[in-house]
């Protein structure tokens, strides 16, 4: 199955005074798994719905492969979509749901049946074809929605927070399954979520959105360790954002804004070049895999996340005591000046 | 709500006494005609002194009554066939349009339910005269369908608005056009609302008298029109037979609806 | 800002609106033919002479005739009396139904649906039979010694009123009952726990909370009865002549379209005033609830 690249060019959508999409441009490679990540109201779902054809942009171009689809009706775009609450058809059996797109494409009954069975078996639902939708669990419904979206071999897949209705364990399991399905089929996929961990787990690249704009588009590693803006840094996990002179060792000019992740800190200096922060402990919490220490330095609050495996001594710390923590110097990320504000 | 006052026996008793009296008031006139219809005399004696089926024979043997019955049934079947599809499409359009436009359309299509029947009837008489439809089934059908549209819209609009439209979007993304998305995905799931709307449209037409009195005529007179004329001129016990049949029919419908609700 | 593409997309959005509008259109056209044009025609006729020239004569004659004023008065009197009786009988019935378990209430509901769905002519006939001087009601009254002479219950205002109340009561009870069903039973329990008597919590908790249903039921009753024709025509026996009856009589006896139409406009104005007032009351009620 060949997949196609997607090109989003200066897409704009305004609702009254509210700018939902502010000239968004984005290139997605053929076969790529790209995640749109952002808080609610950031425009990620609007962008997805514009691609799907359910939201008409005010301006701009959407291209799938060589085809300009900006003005194409949703039923002629050949995009497989997995909706947030699955939007399965409750009056049809599982098999009828999966056969539905094939019936619309006038595929012979026998072949449609065969392909629907194959799609169900791909999502590990062999033998579930005759069931009612109402009789399925949340995870099974999710799989039916996936099977229905891939059965007609679309060149592009869109997923709108497909795992948000599942409980945590199932969600983590399905993250791997969806990624594996993507790797097997190679369909270009755009995945919308507000869960940064989900985005990091699944994506080739992540586009972080806020207020109708793309803040940064990069690999998970780059996004996490080298965020371009403070918004990205704070949205992705526990980040400490400080002026450069906050450090007791390895300080930088006060005009530099720097970021260092909470989990970069150690209570003993690691080998190599280091930086250090000193402050007064205000609160501490044990979270299983790590200890979380909240420390006040000057007027700022800093978070240290010390892995449980090297947290000897954390238990004995009392609030109010002065502590120093170290981190490898190359974990310090300096924001580019124009992006730092 | 009365369970908050388990000790107030008197209050309960008075409330239930009043409720029972009002319910009796409501059902009495529909039930009183039943024994009368089997009366042997043409006096409206109650209780009847002799029993017979002559009023039923009268009804089923009369060409005029039978023609009216046929017309009424025909209109009762045709009215939902016109009003339900039109009302449904209207609800879909309202759902997809902006709030302002949809409220304006809603107010407009509910208009026939607010306009006085006599006004509609006389005005419609003129419009139908222009269209040369006075005394035809088509003419009365227009009147009945217009009265049924608000009823259908009131029943279907909440169902359409409450429907999970993501399903229609899903169908569209899978390759269905608007028509197939609505007909294949939405309509089957709203079948009970459609049945209710059709039933209400049917009853609206069956029960409609004022428009029929003015615009139907001759062999195409409806049953209510004939009943009205015969009630105004003299009290013919044939009406009792018709009323009994009618009440029996409505009781059957009420019972069917009630069992459907339960299951 | 205005690229060729954005112009295209704006046009597409407009076409889409037209597409959805056209879905609503068939129903709107039908309502136009069957309701809007007839009403407009009546208004037009009321300003025309028999020859088709503009005139205000129809109104001048109408408003100077004592028959008109009597018809107007009877119309309002009938509607107000019907509404009043519906409130007095319907609210306790709705309250009684709303305090029973839904399973039983649904059964009793059938007794309300039965008359609602039965033909108005069947019901009117039933009242003819019941209310005649030798009818069941008078026989019972005389038999029990309450009255010695049969009461005139039919072919007059009383008979018309009974028939209209009977027709409108189910339509009043349904929304009132629905509103009372929606009341949280705990609100009444809370009132009781604070010492309110049943009578007191009915007036201070139950009635205010079901006011939305009562007002919409009352609106239906009042607006509907203003244009009532069948019941006064049969149970009024020619002695009760609200506007609807006058309209028909003006047409059938005098063939006077202009005068009948002017009466129709009078009725229309009456309905509009009542509807505007009651819808205004409903909006006020809603705002009051949001504010308070």
Q: Which residues of C touch A57 (CB under 8 A)?
A: 9
**What is the rounded CA–CA span in Å between residue B15 and residue B194?**
37
Q: Are residues A203 and A248 in the same domain?
A: no
**What is the rounded CA–CA span in Å between residue B76 and residue B78?**
6
In Å, how far is C64's CA from the nearest CA of chain B? 22
Range(s) of the domain holding residue A21 = 6-233
**What is the rounded CA–CA span in Å between residue B179 and residue B157?**
18
Measured CA distances, A16 to A13, A19, A20, A40, A58 (Å): 10, 8, 10, 18, 12
- A7: region left, alpha or beta (phi > 0 left; psi from -120 to 50 alpha): beta
Q: Are residues A133 and A271 in the same domain?
A: no
Q: Which chains touch C (3 or more CB pairs under 8 A)?
A: A, B
Q: Which residues of A touch C15 (CB under 8 A)?
A: none
**Mutation site for C-interface testing, chosen from B24, B32, B109, B118 by largest number of C Cβ within 10 Å:** B118
Q: Considering chain A, what percentage of its residues have pLDDT values greater than 70? A: 98
Averaged pLDDT, A293-315: 84
A117: confidence class by pLDDT, cuts 50, 70, 90: very high
User: Which among B210, B95, B208 is positioned nearest to B153, based on CA atoms?
Assistant: B95
Phi then psi dihedrals of residue A265, to 5 deg: -80, 150
Quickly list DSSP for C56-96.
SHHHHHHHH-HHHHHHHHHHHHHHHHHHHHHHHHHHHHHHH
CA of C230: which chain B residue's CA is closest? B210
Task: Locate A76 and state its tokens.
Answer: 């002629």
Q: Considering chain B, what percentage of its residues have pLDDT values greater than 90? A: 65
Helices (H), A123-150: 138-150
Q: Which of A283-287, A316-320, B103-107, B233-237 has the lowest mean pLDDT?
A: B233-237
Element holding C172 (H helix, E strand): helix C157-181
Q: Where are the domains of chain C?
A: 58-291
Residue with tokens 């400080």: A242
Element holding A36 (H helix, E strand): strand A33-37
Average pLDDT over chain B, rounded to an integer: 90
- For residue A340, is it within any domain? no
pLDDT of residue C291: 44
Top CATH class of C58-291 equals: mainly alpha
Name the domain boundary from A233, A252, A268: A233
Measured CA distances, A180 to A177, A206, C256 (Å): 5, 18, 83
Averaged pLDDT, A183-212: 95
In Å, how far is B175's CA from the nearest CA of chain A? 4
User: Which among B229, B36, B231, B225 is positioned nearest to C155, based on CA atoms?
Assistant: B231
Task: Locate A298 and state its tokens.
Answer: 């000057």
Nearest neighbour of C192 by CB, restricted to B5, B23, B90: B5
- C238: region left, alpha or beta (phi > 0 left; psi from -120 to 50 alpha): left
β-sheet bridge partners, residue A300: A297
Name the domain boundary from A213, A233, A253: A233
Query: Is A100's Cβ below 8 Å from some Cβ in B?
Result: yes
A243: confidence class by pLDDT, cuts 50, 70, 90: confident
Q: Which residues of B touch C98 (CB under 8 A)?
A: 1
pLDDT of residue B74: 96
Give the CATH number of the domain where residue A316 resides: 2.40.50.140
- For residue A250, is it within any domain? yes
Contacts of A299 (CB under 8 A, 6+ apart): none
pLDDT of residue C179: 92
Give buried/exposed letters for A173-211 (b at 16+ CB in 10 A, else e): ebbeebbebbeebebbbbbbbbbbebbbebbbbbbbbbe
**What is the rounded CA–CA span in Å between residue A232 and residue A235?**
5
Q: Which residues of B touch C169 (CB under 8 A)?
A: 22, 25-26
Quickly list DSSP for A182-232.
HHHH--EEEEEES-HHHHHHH-SEEEEEETTEEEEEE-HHHHHHS-SSHHH
Contact between B123 and C21 using a beta-carbon 8 Å cutoff: no
Residues in chain B: 263
Q: Are C23 and A79 in contact (CB under 8 A)?
A: no
pLDDT of residue A341: 43
- A11: region left, alpha or beta (phi > 0 left; psi from -120 to 50 alpha): beta
Task: Locate C102 and state its tokens.
Answer: 């839904």
Q: What is the pTM of this model?
A: 0.89
Query: Is C5's Cβ below 8 Å from some Cβ in A?
Result: yes
User: Which among A86, A72, A78 is positioned nearest to A188, based on CA atoms?
Assistant: A78
- For residue A1, is it within any domain? no
Q: Are residues A129 and A51 in the same domain?
A: yes
Contacts of A114 (CB under 8 A, 6+ apart): none
CB-facing half-sphere around the CA of C96: CA atoms within 13 A: 21
Helices (H), chain A: 44-52, 94-104, 109-122, 138-150, 168-185, 196-202, 220-225, 230-235
**What is the rounded CA–CA span in Å between residue A163 and residue A192?**
10
**Mutation site for C-interface testing, chosen from A58, A61, A69 by largest number of C Cβ within 10 Å:** A58
Q: Which residues of B touch A (CB under 8 A)?
A: 164, 166-167, 169-177, 180-181, 185, 188-189
Q: Are A98 and A151 in contact (CB under 8 A)?
A: yes
Residue C137 has pLDDT above 80, yes or no: yes
- For residue A21, is it within any domain? yes
Q: Are residues A319 and A205 in the same domain?
A: no
Q: Are residues A193 and A300 in the same domain?
A: no
CA of C110: which chain B residue's CA is closest? B254
Q: What is the CA radius of gyration of chain C?
A: 25
Contact between C201 and B4 using a beta-carbon 8 Å cutoff: yes
pLDDT of residue C226: 93
In Å, how far is C247's CA from the nearest CA of chain B? 8
CA B231 to chain centre: 21
In Å, how far is C291's CA from the nearest CA of chain B? 23
User: Which among C53, C89, C274, C250 is positioned nearest to C168, based on CA atoms?
Assistant: C89
Q: What is the largest CA-CA distance in chain C?
A: 91
**What is the rounded CA–CA span in Å between residue A155 and residue B72?**
57
**Residue C287 or B165, more confident:** B165
- For residue A120, is it within any domain? yes
**What is the rounded CA–CA span in Å between residue C68 and residue B143?**
28
**What is the rounded CA–CA span in Å between residue A207 and residue A219?**
9
CA of B170: which chain A residue's CA is closest? A87
Q: Which residues of B touch A53 (CB under 8 A)?
A: 172-173
Q: Are residues A248 and A121 in the same domain?
A: no
CB-facing half-sphere around the CA of A246: CA atoms within 13 A: 25
**What is the rounded CA–CA span in Å between residue A70 and residue C238?**
70
Residue B3 has pLDDT above 80, yes or no: no
CA of B139: which chain C residue's CA is closest? C34
Q: Are residues A156 and A94 in the same domain?
A: yes
Averaged pLDDT, A124-142: 93
Q: Are residues A167 and A80 in the same domain?
A: yes
- For residue A341, is it within any domain? no
ipTM: 0.91
Domain count for chain A: 2
Query: Is C23's Cβ below 8 Å from some Cβ in B?
Result: yes
Query: Is C7's Cβ below 8 Å from some Cβ in A?
Result: no
Q: Which of A306-320, B133-147, C33-47 has the lowest mean pLDDT?
A: A306-320
Query: Is C3's Cβ below 8 Å from some Cβ in A?
Result: yes
Residue A4 has pLDDT above 90, yes or no: yes
Q: Are A26 and A185 in contact (CB under 8 A)?
A: no
SS3 letters across A13-32? EEECCEEEEEEEEEEECCCC
- For residue A287, is it within any domain? yes
Phi then psi dihedrals of residue B34, to 5 deg: -65, -55
> pLDDT tens-digit profile of A18-65?
999 999 999 999 999 999 999 998 999 999 999 999 999 999 999 999
pLDDT of residue A337: 65
Give the CATH number of the domain where residue A138 resides: 3.40.50.300
* Crossing angle of helices B191-207 and B63-96, rounded to 10°: 140
Q: Are residues A60 and A86 in the same domain?
A: yes
Averaged pLDDT, A329-340: 75
Q: Are residues A169 and A287 in the same domain?
A: no
Q: Are A50 and A62 in contact (CB under 8 A)?
A: yes
User: Parallel, antiparallel, or unpaired: how do β-strands A205-210 and A213-218 relate?
Assistant: antiparallel
pLDDT of residue C292: 38
Q: Are C180 and C202 in contact (CB under 8 A)?
A: no
Element holding A156 (H helix, E strand): strand A156-160
> pLDDT tens-digit profile of C68-113?
999 999 999 999 999 999 999 999 999 999 988 888 888 898 899 8
Contact between B173 and A52 using a beta-carbon 8 Å cutoff: yes
Q: Are residues A261 and A157 in the same domain?
A: no
pLDDT of residue A340: 41
Residue B47 has pLDDT above 80, yes or no: no
Q: Which chains touch A (3 or more CB pairs under 8 A)?
A: B, C
User: Which among A225, A290, A307, A292 is positioned nearest to A259, based on CA atoms?
Assistant: A225
Q: Are residues A304 and A220 in the same domain?
A: no
Name the domain boundary from A210, A233, A256: A233
3 state SS of A128: coil
Residue A131 has pLDDT above 70, yes or no: yes
Residue A255 has pLDDT above 90, yes or no: no
Contacts of C6 (CB under 8 A, 6+ apart): A12, A58, A59
In the stretch 11-30 of chain C, residues with CB closer than 8 A to chain A read 12-13, 16
Quickly list DSSP for C189-251.
HHHHHTT--HHHHIIIIIHHHTHHHHHHHHHHHHHHHHT--HHHHHHSTTS---HHHHHHHHH
Averaged pLDDT, A316-341: 80
């Amino acid at each position: 199955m060949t997949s196609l690249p997607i090109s989003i060019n200066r897409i704009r959508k305004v609702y009254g005074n509210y700018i939902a999409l502010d000239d968004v441009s984005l290139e997605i490679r053929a076969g790529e798994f790209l995640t749109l990540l952002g808080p609610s109201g950031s425009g990620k779902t609007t962008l997805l719905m514009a691609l799907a054809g359910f939201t008409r942009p005010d301006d701009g171009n959407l291209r799938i492969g060589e085809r300009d689809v900006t003005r194409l009706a949703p039923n002629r775009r050949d995009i497989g979509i997995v909706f947030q609450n699955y939007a399965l058809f409750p009056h049809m059996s599982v098999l009828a749901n999966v056969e539905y797109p094939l019936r619309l494409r006038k595929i012979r009954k026998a072949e449609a049946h065969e392909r629907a069975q194959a799609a169900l078996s791909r999502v590990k639902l062999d033998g579930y074809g005759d069931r009612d939708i109402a009789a399925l669990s949340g995870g099974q419904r999710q799989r039916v929605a996936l099977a229905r979206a891939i059965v007609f071999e679309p060149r592009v897949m869109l997923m709108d927070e497909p795992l948000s209705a599942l409980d945590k364990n199932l969600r983590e399991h399905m993250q791997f399954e969806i990624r594996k399905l993507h790797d097997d089929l190679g369909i270009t996929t755009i995945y919308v979520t507000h869960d940064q961990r989900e985005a990091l787990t699944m994506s080739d690249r992540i586009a972080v959105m806020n207020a109708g704009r793309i803040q940064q588009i990069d690999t998970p590693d780059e996004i996490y360790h080298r965020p371009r803006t403070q918004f990205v840094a704070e949205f992705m996990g526990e980040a400490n954002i400080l002026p450069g002179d906050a450090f007791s060792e390895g300080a930088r000019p006060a005009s530099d804004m720097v970021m260092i992740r909470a989990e970069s800190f150690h209570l003993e200096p690691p080998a190599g070049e280091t930086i250090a922060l000193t402050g007064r402990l205000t609160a501490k919490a044990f979270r299983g895999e790590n200890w979380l220490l909240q420390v006040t330095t000057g007027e700022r609050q800093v978070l240290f996340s010390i892995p449980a495996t090297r947290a000897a001594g954390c238990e004995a710390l009392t609030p109010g005591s002065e502590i120093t923590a170290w981190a490898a110097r190359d974990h310090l990320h300096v924001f580019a000046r124009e992006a730092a504000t | 709500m009365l369970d908050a006052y388990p000790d107030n026996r008197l209050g309960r008793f008075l409330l239930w006494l009043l409720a029972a009296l009002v319910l009796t008031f409501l059902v009495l006139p529909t039930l009183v005609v039943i024994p009368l219809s089997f009366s042997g005399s043409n006096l409206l004696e109650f209780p009847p002194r002799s029993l017979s089926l002559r009023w039923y024979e009268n009804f089923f043997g009369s060409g005029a009554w039978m023609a009216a019955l046929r017309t009424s049934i025909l209109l009762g079947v045709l009215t939902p066939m016109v009003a339900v599809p039109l009302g449904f499409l209207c609800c879909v359009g309202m759902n997809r349009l902006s709030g302002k436009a949809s409220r304006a359309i809603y107010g407009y299509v509910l208009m026939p339910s607010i306009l006085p029947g006599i006004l509609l009837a006389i005005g419609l008489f003129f419009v139908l005269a222009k269209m040369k439809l006075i005394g035809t089934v088509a003419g009365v059908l227009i009147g009945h369908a217009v009265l049924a549209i608000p009823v259908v819209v009131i029943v279907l609009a909440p169902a359409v608005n409450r429907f999970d439209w993501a399903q229609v979007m899903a169908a569209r993304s899978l390759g269905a056009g608007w028509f197939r998305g609505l007909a294949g995905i939405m309509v089957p799931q709203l079948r009970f609302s459609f049945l209710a709307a059709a039933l209400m449209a049917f009853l609206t037409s069956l029960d409609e008298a004022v428009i029929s009195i003015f615009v139907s005529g001759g062999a195409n007179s409806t049953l209510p029109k004939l009943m009205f004329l015969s009630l105004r001129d003299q009290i013919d016990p044939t009406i009792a037979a018709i009323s009994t049949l009618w009440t029996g029919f409505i009781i059957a419908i009420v019972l069917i609806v009630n069992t459907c609700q339960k299951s | 800002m205005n690229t060729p593409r954005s112009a295209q997309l704006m046009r597409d959005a407009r076409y889409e609106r037209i597409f959805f509008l056209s879905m609503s259109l068939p129903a709107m056209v039908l309502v136009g033919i069957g309701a809007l044009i007839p009403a407009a025609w009546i208004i037009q006729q009321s300003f025309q002479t028999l020859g088709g020239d503009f005139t205000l004569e129809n109104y001048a004659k109408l408003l100077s005739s004592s028959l008109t004023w009597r018809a107007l008065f009877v119309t309002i009197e009938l509607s107000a009396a019907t509404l009043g009786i519906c409130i007095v009988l319907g609210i306790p019935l709705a309250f009684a139904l709303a305090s029973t378990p839904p399973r039983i209430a649904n059964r009793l509901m059938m007794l309300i649906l039965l008359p609602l769905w039965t033909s108005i002519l069947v019901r009117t006939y039933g009242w003819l039979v019941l209310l005649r001087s030798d009818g069941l009601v008078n026989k019972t009254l005389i038999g029990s010694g309450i009255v010695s002479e049969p009461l005139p219950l039919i072919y007059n205002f009383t008979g018309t009123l009974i028939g209209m109340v009977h027709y409108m009561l189910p339509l009043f009870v349904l929304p009132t009952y629905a509103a009372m069903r929606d009341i949280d039973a705990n609100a009444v329990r809370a009132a009781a726990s604070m010492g309110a008597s049943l009578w007191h919590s009915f007036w201070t908790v139950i009635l205010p909370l079901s006011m939305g249903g009562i007002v919409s039921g009352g609106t239906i009753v009042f607006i509907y009865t203003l244009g009532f024709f069948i019941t006064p025509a049969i149970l009024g026996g020619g002695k009760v002549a609200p506007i609807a009856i006058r309209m028909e009589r003006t047409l059938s006896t005098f063939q006077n379209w202009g005068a009948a139409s002017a009466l129709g406009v009078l009725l229309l104005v009456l309905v509009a005033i009542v509807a505007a007032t009651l819808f205004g009351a409903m909006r006020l009620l809603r705002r009051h609830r949001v504010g308070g």
